[in-house]
Structure 1
Amino acid sequence: MKKLLYAVAISATIFTGCSDDDDDFLPPTKEPVVGEITGDITANRTLAFGNYTLKGLVKIQPGVTLTIEKGSTFTADKTDGEDGLVVLKGGTLIANGTADEPIVLTEKSKIAGSWAGIIMYGDAPIIASGGTTTSRSEDGLNQEYGGANAAHSSGSLRYVRVEYAGQVITTNNKEHNGFSFYAVGSGTTLENLVSYRGNDDGFEFYGGTVSAKNLISYGNADDSFDWQDSWRGQDNTNWFAYQTGLGNYGMEVEAKSNNNAFWPKITNITLKRAAGTTTESQGEIQLDAIQFKANGNGDFSNIVIDGYGSQTTPTAFNGGVVQILDLLTYNNQVLTGKIKLTNVKVTNSPNLFISGANTFTVNAASFGANWSASTTATGASLAKGKWATVDGVDLLANL
């Protein structure tokens, strides 16, 4: 018995000793590197987990891949000029964060409109004004975009957050969004992306075939989601827009007046506008949840829309859920069934339909079976986490 008690005592001592030294067995904490990213990326490169300064327009050249490790942070500084991360046509960006270790691109002053965000060029088809298959970018780089490879890949963006972008230098000629996708192809992965408090659109698609899943557009001063040049992504889901302070359309939909036989498809959409949010430009009516113009179309389902009422100050405008801006869009898209809005739940938005012209009246009957109201639509479904949290603010609190 004495031997047994002695053995137990020794065993207890061993285990007690191990518990005191548990920290010795934990894997070492990986320290972030510190560096600056500037100039052209001309050779394949991997940026280790770290905190980087982003200086100037960093351009990934054709044939080159830039890989960014999860958890990395990039900080621009508006005082040093025009900053941004650009993927040129034929270049590849692999930026795969995680829900707990997102890749964050921000700006030192935390002022909206301070830098250019992420700009990506692909080789997928577009249809621009006049039916042309190429166009020139409106970001000041004057890049030609539009190709023939619908399945082209420009890389992978997962759990990436862009903050305080949307720099506008010259309206319509040199302006940036949070994310700008020019002719990006369906081989590109866009998942779990956040555009936070920019001064222009949260996300804009300029033609192309890429689809995007799990998007958050929060507090962007122009449109939350915008597209043109006949974008045709087919596998889009879980889009959430929260407009607060300044904000124009939840979604602005146009096709440069091309009457296409195709359209994009998006499921699970939530568009919310906080009380007191006003339109960015007091000279234009831009406060509807969804605006269709210039033959814009699309198939949208499981939609929740909240807070899109009329504005009384500083300028009185009528706001609503769906605006059809022009007769061309009404005749070619609404009446022919190329705009589908099904399973739509509307709250705090008294005006369902708004006509942008006096030449036609749009209502539920205009859409026929392609409009269906709902009390059970659920909208976007997104998981909370560090990827959707900024300075302690849960961006999904209002979802």
Structure 2
Amino acid sequence: MKTRNLFAAILVITALIFNACTIKEDNIGDVIINLDSCGENVNTAILEGKITADRTLKANELYELRGGVSVVNGATLTIEPGTKIIAGNSGGVFSYLAIEQGAKIIAEGTATQPIVFTSNKCTPNSGDWGGLLLAGKAPINRGTTATAEVANLTYGGTNPADNSGILRYVRLEYTGGKINDDSEFNGLSLYGVGNGTTIEYIQAFNGNDDGIEFFGGTVNLKYAIVTGAGDDSFDWTDGWVGNGQFWIAQQTSAAGDKGIEADNLSSAPDAAPFSNPTLSNITLIGAEDGDGENKGIEFRAGTKVRMYNTIIKAFPGAGIEVDDNQTLINLNNNEVIVRNSIIDNAKSFDLDHGGATVDLANFATFNNYTKDGSGAPFNNAGTPVPTSFKTNGFIGTYQYTIAIDGVNNFDPSTLGAFFDAANYVGALQKNDTWTSNWTRL
């Protein structure tokens, strides 16, 4: 679905203005009136440096991030529905917006007026700018606190209920600026963010690195879409223990790696707290980008997980791969759980080439459906399962209806108050509209 132009009414400058000028306005920053990179007259408010006092960004202004912009401890940045923020890079220095520990962002868009962060280029590309970063005081497993690989942010602490604000109906486009081989921005980076923060209806679109990544913390995420990620669509590490529901990953043939890359801590796989999220109603749609390696999910470096009602489809590599000794220990201890799910790939599972005593495809225990070697669509112990496929308002995303004797799909509302009743597989059911208007393809 094409995103409608939210800013068709940007101020047109009169033909009497021939040269650029600067106007200083209180609590907004420099307003530059000039020709933008696309040759259009625009009124752009510049955001740069540190935001040290409460500030509101208005929908009738166009804002541009210049360099790293940080909201500091005690300040709140409020962004009105329909606001557009552009960003880019200069000489390899990427613009980004960071919400530091103790600061807040209140960015509440709507389905018809999303808040959009995008490239400042007329012809945008992935990696044009950095991304959006939140740093909280919730627990991590790298120590009490740590420093982020980008933006020098301190994150982590002892408050699982820490509150970094609200993100709702926010779209992040063309993120993922690459600093070097070890440091790249993601679309949305969540560093030690606490579960007092509300994050829902988020899209990361055509970013150069990961779409959404959790670095520890306890934050929850509902209604999230990652489209065309250059690396992993969703990623977690550092002991993330939050919840997630209604996620979609849509790879493209241009680039991509895993639908989900899941770690505890690579340098110490048994570090506590273990990464151990609970997820339901996840749809991961893969694509071949030329290397044959794209995987639906890789659980590794000691992560734990509980996952239900998931679809993993069209990845040329394994549907689910489990790597590393600690992760296999967790799997055999029934602490890596995938249930009531459909794994529709040429290769369903790769459990580190052995070492696993648990078979995730076991129908009697897990109610998972996988492709078999005979060409039948799915099976449980060799019995084909009648399955119907429907597209549902989001290209390439499938809604599955399963009919199987005496077996009901799982109702995730039994997992806790965060989860909605959704006893179907995947992030969408027939006639769902939650992706409408605010997303783009």
TM-score bracket for this pair, using the shorter chain length: 0.7 to 0.9
Output aligned runs, 1:173-188, within 5 Å: 174-188=183-197
- Aligned-pair CA distance for 1:366: 8.2
Q: Report the Cα distance in structure 1 between the residues aligned to 2:251 and 2:10, rounded to whole angstroms.
A: 36
Tell me which of 334, 338, 342 is aligned to 2:335.
338
- Aligned-pair CA distance for 1:297: 1.5
Tell me which of 62, 70, 75 is aligned to 1:59.
70
| Partner amino acid, structure 1, of 2:342 | K
Output aligned runs, 1:249-268, within 5 Å: 249-256=258-265, 257-258=269-270, 260=273, 263-268=276-281
| Partner amino acid, structure 2, of 1:387 | W
- Aligned-pair CA distance for 1:355: 3.5
- Aligned-pair CA distance for 1:273: 1.2
Q: Report the Cα distance in structure 2 between the residues aligned to 1:365 and 1:52, rounded to whole angstroms.
A: 50
Q: Report the Cα distance in structure 2 between the residues aligned to 1:61 and 1:116, rounded to whole angstroms.
A: 18
- Aligned-pair CA distance for 1:356: 3.5
Report SS of the residue matched to 1:387: coil
Q: Report the Cα distance in structure 2 between the residues aligned to 1:286 and 1:89, rounded to whole angstroms.
A: 37
Which residue is equivalent to 2:303? 296
Which residue is equivalent to 1:203? 212
Tell me which of 356, 360, 364 is aligned to 1:364.
360
| Partner amino acid, structure 2, of 1:227 | W
| Partner amino acid, structure 1, of 2:434 | A
| Partner amino acid, structure 2, of 1:200 | D
Residue identity over aligned pairs, in percent, reads 36
Distance 1:288 1:371, change over 3 A: farther
- Aligned-pair CA distance for 1:167: 1.3
| Partner amino acid, structure 2, of 1:342 | R
Output aligned runs, 1:24-35, within 5 Å: 34-35=44-45
| Partner amino acid, structure 1, of 2:248 | F
Contact kept? 1:327, 1:360, Cα under 8 Å? no
- Aligned-pair CA distance for 1:386: 2.7
Q: Report the Cα distance in structure 1 between the residues aligned to 2:228 and 2:274, rounded to whole angstroms.
A: 34
| Partner amino acid, structure 2, of 1:383 | W
Which residue is equivalent to 2:165? 155
Tell me which of 111, 128, 153 is aligned to 1:99.
111
Contact kept? 2:328, 2:355, Cα under 8 Å? no
Contact kept? 1:158, 1:191, Cα under 8 Å? yes
Tell me which of 95, 114, 117 is aligned to 2:128.
114
> TM-score scaled to structure 1, two decimals?
0.79
| Partner amino acid, structure 2, of 1:216 | I
Q: Report the Cα distance in structure 2 between the residues aligned to 1:53 and 1:190, rounded to whole angstroms.
A: 23
Tell me which of 241, 244, 251 is aligned to 2:249.
241
Which residue is equivalent to 1:350? 346
Report SS of the residue matched to 1:334: helix
Q: Report the Cα distance in structure 2 between the residues aligned to 1:278 and 1:138, rounded to whole angstroms.
A: 29
Tell me which of 302, 307, 313 is aligned to 2:314.
307
Contact kept? 2:55, 2:78, Cα under 8 Å? yes
Report SS of the residue matched to 2:49: strand
Q: Deviations 1:318-367 (Å, cap 9, x if unpaired)?
A: x1111011122112x110011111111132x1211113456668743789
| Partner amino acid, structure 2, of 1:351 | K
> TM-score scaled to structure 2, two decimals?
0.72
Larger Cα-atom Rg: 1
Contact kept? 1:152, 1:185, Cα under 8 Å? yes
Tell me which of 75, 79, 83 is aligned to 1:72.
83
- Aligned-pair CA distance for 1:239: 0.3
| Partner amino acid, structure 1, of 2:245 | T
Q: Report the Cα distance in structure 2 between the residues aligned to 1:100 and 1:329, rounded to whole angstroms.
A: 43
Report SS of the residue matched to 2:438: helix
Report SS of the residue matched to 1:328: helix
CA RMSD of aligned residues (A): 2.3
Tell me which of 155, 163, 169 is aligned to 1:145.
155
Distance 1:290 1:367, change over 3 A: farther
More helix by share: 1
- Aligned-pair CA distance for 1:115: 1.2
Q: Report the Cα distance in structure 1 between the residues aligned to 2:82 and 2:275, rounded to whole angstroms.
A: 38
Contact kept? 2:263, 2:275, Cα under 8 Å? no
Deviates more, 1:118-127 or 1:338-347: 338-347
| Partner amino acid, structure 1, of 2:185 | H
Q: Deviations 1:59-97 (Å, cap 9, x if unpaired)?
A: 001000010111011111223632001001011111110
Contact kept? 2:332, 2:356, Cα under 8 Å? no
The number of residue pairs the alignment matches comes to 339
Distance 1:123 1:43, change over 3 A: same
Q: Deviations 1:79-127 (Å, cap 9, x if unpaired)?
A: 3632001001011111110001000000123111121110100010111
Report SS of the residue matched to 1:246: coil
Contact kept? 1:66, 1:92, Cα under 8 Å? yes
| Partner amino acid, structure 1, of 2:97 | L
Q: Report the Cα distance in structure 2 between the residues aligned to 1:342 and 1:360, rounded to whole angstroms.
A: 17
Q: Report the Cα distance in structure 2 between the residues aligned to 1:184 and 1:368, rounded to whole angstroms.
A: 38
Output aligned runs, 1:81-100, within 5 Å: 81-100=93-112
Deviates more, 1:299-308 or 1:366-375: 366-375
Distance 1:358 1:304, change over 3 A: closer
Which residue is equivalent to 2:141? 127
Q: Deviations 1:228-252 (Å, cap 9, x if unpaired)?
A: 0110003x21000001121111001
Q: Report the Cα distance in structure 2 between the residues aligned to 1:353 and 1:249, rounded to whole angstroms.
A: 14
Distance 1:286 1:62, change over 3 A: farther
Which residue is equivalent to 1:5? none
- Aligned-pair CA distance for 1:225: 0.2
Contact kept? 2:309, 2:426, Cα under 8 Å? yes
- Aligned-pair CA distance for 1:135: 2.1
Which residue is equivalent to 1:169? 179
Which residue is equivalent to 1:316? none
